[in-house]
Structure 1
Amino acid sequence: MADFYQQSAEEQAERMLDLARTAVEHWDIEAGDIALIKYRENAVFSVTDTSGHRYALRIHRSEYHSDSELLSELQWMDALLHKGVGTPPVIPSRSGSLFVIVEHPAIPEPRQVDLLGWLHGDPVGAIEEAQSRNGDEVADLFRRIGKLAAEVHSKTADWSLPEGFARHAWDAEGILGDDPFWGRFLDLAALDDQTRALLVRACDKARQDLANFGMTEQNYGLIHADFVPENLLQRGEDLLLIDFDDAGFGWHMFELATALYFHVDDPNLDLMRNAILEGYRTARALPESDWELLPLFLFLRSLTYLGWVHTRHETETARSLTPMFIDRTQMLALNYLNES
């Protein structure tokens, strides 16, 4: 058998499908159709049973989360669902566990697998394109994004973490430390000396600003950490939230910065920024002093994406995104330092 990690993405996906067929037998469903939806970090399959009910089966990447961390992710999703947030229902396996460990000869290591109820809705990204950037519609969308983020933060703050709950942290160490959670961004080979020096100066300032900001129940807690268009679905007037893979402990402002990050060069950015703040404040307080730190958190968010492409530099996706992320990080660093 050829080495799995030397195969093309298409060949790997075929092997993942073999594992998915084995994994689904751990649930009390009679699977009919199993089809790949996405294979990037995790492999996500659409599973339709013989009664027509649809599910999302996730095969997790190896060694990204420990078993306790994945269990914690699923427990949080379940808690949010029961508190009224539109998240996928977690479907327990036949044994009652929220995920299973599955082996298959086609895959070189055991994988964590879970099954979620399918959420029907239109991806926000597609909605934005269809709207042709109509200002009123964009403002309405970002007000609802802000409100959803606030509801996630507020309802989580009222939730008692289960015993053994464990997730990574998007804190100063996790973003700016010697071994950042998403990778050592300063080691990215595509950075030139001038850009690297700029980032070092901005990072030094960021460490001090984060220390001054601190971590309190009002500004820090569990966050989704991936509030991007592809993870937001619209169903009628409701916004639904999927893909909690990157969720962890972090600043609430990091969440809002993530929601705005891929729009920083959009002509409607000011509109989006004002709308997301307005929406957030309808469900949770956000002091003006916190909001004024948005340039800091946009810069920090951009650093994480540099780390992401650095640790995946051999992939076509990383190669194609690297120039954009470098340009954007330079711009955000200069803006944060008031040097733009």
Structure 2
Amino acid sequence: MSNFSIQVYKNLNSNKPPEISLPPHLPQSDLTNPTLINIAKDLFTENGVLLIQNLFSQDLITQLNQSFFEQYNSYFEDQDHTDALEVGVKRKMVTVKFQTPFNHPDLYGNPLLIHLIEGLLGKDFVLGSFGAVIALPGAEEQHIHQDHPALFEDEALNIQLPSFAITVVVPLIDLTPATGSTQVWKGSHRLSSTAELENKNLSVPFVSTGSCYLMDYQLWHGGTPNISHQVRPILYIVYYRSWFQETVNYEQQLRVSITQNEYQKIPENYQFLFARTQDLLKFSHFLSLQENSQLPANTSDDQLTASAQVDKLSKLAKLALSEYGMEHAGLELISHGENTVFAVDVAKGLIEQENSRYSSSRFIFRIHRPNYLPISAITSELSWLKYLSQEANLPVPEPIPTLEGRLCTWGKFQGLPEPRVCSLTRWLNGDSILSEETTQESQLLQIQSVGRLLGQLHDHAEHWPIPEKFTRPRWDWNGLFGDMAGYSNDGLRVWELTPQPYRNLFARVSRQFQEMVVLLKEDSSQFGVIHGDFWAGNILINQDQIGIIDFADCGFGYWVYDLARFLNDYISEPDFLLYLDQLLNGYSQIRPLPEASLAQIIGFITAQYAAYGLWQVNRAQDHPSFRATLEVELEETAAGIEQLMSFI
């Protein structure tokens, strides 16, 4: 240690949080002194809050202040922002981009902080989020809260848990009684949810720039009013344990915003902090959308916003509809997801044959996703639909051929880099069963009818003479987790793009699924042409008749795969076993149940969850809507898998 004096205020008999006061210009080597680190660790563990005075240089804070007020002044107006979270009256939380001067190891990698956080969260901790909370002049007192709900229902266990996330608050202006600060209840990170907060533990730390305070993610706290005329921005850096996954706070913005170029500037010995972020950096085009407020004129299609993509595709649709003699038809977007789907409206009476099963004036026009299934596979899907609608007489979409008799066609538009496969089907009348208000009795009858329809589909599939050139995906292990993982043609790339810890979790599911299906036979008692996406959202009811739409994922698979796909939306319902019984009751009225594979139904549902997660990763590469929701979808998918695996 040098001759500098470090003062420690434990404040054991005071409402004030513990404080470590560092002298200005303290040598960096003194910041890693084991005695200092251990003292800081013990104080934080006991109190859940710790002030550290003079940790950052004034030169650094001045740069951060100037840059923040220049770059983020658009948030200084009291109005809504799509990329900011309202955390109180005149109080916003925004993500700050990791770029000069914020991309500075003296800020996120201060030696004292790094050694202290490692002692509290473990060696493999990560930087989980980075941003700012802006309290505008007139900001009112914030509600008292914890930054994250308890991890377990057992309160006794939660109270004993060590810290799983820690927030470091770095003020960019002096925090005074006028500008406000944060009121904290020291020790409250160890209170049960029913315990009352006591004023004897309440204090408000007013600190000058260059100082900071640390708060446990379970500490009760709340921002105080800003009665000054100044904007009060405070930076926050949140460090996570390696296993911790945030479930709140980031509904509208990124946790960390960093480009590959900025990541390269991070010293190698600090790159471990950005382990999760580095996984996200692999997503194609993700960063360019964060880095540029305007896209260049020659932006490729997968960099466009969703609305810009739809605009181009609607123009392609109008041109392609001339192949069906419908060039003057009206178009209405239904969805822009896996495929881009439009409702096509023509004058009533244009189609001679009318059938109450189908609309006489409305059709479905699909522009199929590029670089996935070849036109031969899409033609095969439509051949299967033609058989089911015309010969089997089942309530499914009926394909409409082009004027030249083809089941699908190529659509071209100058603004798109490649032609797209297009197809047209009749509009199947009916309402989604999800929108039906039903009693439990009528719902059970519906599910039984759903089971009968699925039994009919499988029965016709078993006896249909499959055409020689029929080609569709196989929803076996290779289709879900191998070469076609993520519903792609490059499963290995999808796995590489999947960030940790989701990749490890999905790999566990993959191994279990592989071990499970190796015991099942691929004969007609277990395996055949399935719908592939047989969930409630694709099921319609029309005058008590159940119909099914969206055969885009039809292919070869186990019969139980379709049963599992329907049931995975009910797996958490208290009446799940009752729904299962009714579904199987209806199915068995048509054909024998696939007994050998039924015992593995939870395993199939779990596999579908993981396959869905990989699909989200894949689609995030070229679809802005999937990019925007990817992190939330992965978190929810992982939570579902963990719950399901506890049943296996």
State TM-score, norm by structure 2: 0.49
Inter-partner Cα distance in structure 1 for 2:432 and 2:384: 22
1:196/1:72 CA distance change after superposition, 3 Å = closer
CA gap of 1:281–1:118, structure 2 versus 1, over 3 A, is same
TM-score of the aligned structures, taking structure 1 as reference length: 0.90
Higher RCO structure, 1 or 2 (CA under 8 Å, sep 6+):
1
- Separation (CA, whole Å) in 1 of partners of 2:496 and 2:647: 22
Structure 2 match to 1:309: 616
Task: Tell which deviates more after alignment, 318-327 or 160-169.
Answer: 318-327
> Among residues 333, 353, 357, which one is paired with 1:36 in the alignment?
333
Partner of 2:316: 19
1:331 corresponds to: 643
Which string of whole-angstrom CA distances, capped at 9 and with x for unpartnered residues, describes residues 259-291 of structure 1?
111221122322211111111111110154332
Q: Distance in 2 between matches of 1:69 and 1:8?
A: 29
CA RMSD, aligned part only? 2.0
* Aligned partners of 1:188 and 1:307 also within 8 Å: no
| Secondary structure in 2 matching 1:335 | coil
3-state SS in 1 of match to 2:329? strand
Which residue identity lines up with residue 215 of structure 1 in the other structure? E
1:84 matched to 2:393: yes
Task: Letter of the 1:321 partner, please give it.
Answer: E
Q: Please, which of 455, 465, 469 is the counterpart of residue 160 of structure 1?
A: 465
- Alignment equivalent of 1:54, drawn from 343, 362, 371: 362
Contact 1:80/1:156 (8 A) holds in 2: no
- TM-superposition CA deviations, 1:141-163 (whole Å, max 9, x none): 21111111111010111111112
Verify the 8 A CA contact 1:30 1:50 in the aligned structure 2: no
**Does the 8 Å contact 1:187/1:310 carry over to 2?**
no
Structure 2: distance between partners of 1:200 and 1:51? 52
Q: Which amino acid aligns with 1:113?
A: C
Structure 2 CA distance for aligned equivalents of residues 317 and 142 of structure 1 = 31
Runs of at least 4 residues of structure 1 off by over 6 A? none
**2:571 partner amino acid:** V
Which amino acid letter does the alignment assign opposite residue 61 of structure 1? R
How far apart in 2 are the matches of 1:294 and 1:75? 29
Which residue of structure 2 lines up, in the alignment, with residue 67 of structure 1? Answer: 375
Name whichever of 152-161 and 287-296 sits farther off: 287-296
Mapped partners of 2:509, 2:343: distance in 1: 43
Q: CA deviation at 1:181?
A: 5.1
- Structure with greater proportional helix content: 1
Per the TM alignment, residue 312 of structure 1 is displaced from its structure 2 partner at its CA by 3.0
Of the structure 1 ranges 284-293 and 166-175, higher mean CA displacement relative to structure 2 is found in 284-293
Q: Which residue of 1 aligns with 2:482?
A: 177
| Rounded Cα–Cα distance in structure 2 between residues aligned with 1:35 and 1:202 | 39
Query: Which digits, 9 at most, give the CA deviation of each residue in 1:1-58, with x for residues without a partner?
Result: 5422221111111111111110110013463321111111111111111336111111
CA-to-aligned-CA distance 1:51-72 (integer Å, 9 cap, x gap): 3611111111112210110000
Structure 2 CA distance for aligned equivalents of residues 178 and 165 of structure 1? 20
1:272 is aligned to 2:579: yes
Identity of aligned residues (%): 28
Pick one of 409, 416, 424 that aligns with 1:100: 409
Give the corresponding residue for 1:136.
441
Residue pair 2:318, 2:327 contacting (<8 A) in 1 also: no
Q: Counterparts of 1:186 and 1:27 in 2: how far apart (Å)?
A: 40
Greater mean alpha carbon deviation, residues 104-113 or residues 289-298: 289-298
Give the direction of change, closer, same or farther, for the CA distance of 1:158–1:41 in structure 2 (3 Å limit).
same
Q: Give the CA deviation at 1:198.
A: 5.8
Stretch deviating more after TM superposition (208-217 or 72-81): 208-217
- Mark the runs of 5 or more structure 2 residues left unpaired by the alignment: 1-296, 350-360, 621-625
Shift of 1:253: 0.6
Question: Do the aligned partners of 2:385 and 2:399 also contact (CA within 8 Å) in 1?
Answer: yes
Give the CA deviation at 1:205: 3.7
Distance 1:63 1:326 in 2: 28
Partner residue in 2 for 1:7: 304
Distance, in Å, in 2 between the alignment partners of 1:187 and 1:330 is 22
Q: Tell which structure's C-alpha radius of gyration is larger.
A: 2
Alignment partners' CA distance in 2, 1:103 and 1:243: 24
Q: 1:198 to 1:59 in 2, by over 3 A?
A: closer
Aligned length: 330
1:234 aligns with 2:534: no
Alignment check: 8 A CA contact 1:47 1:56 kept: yes
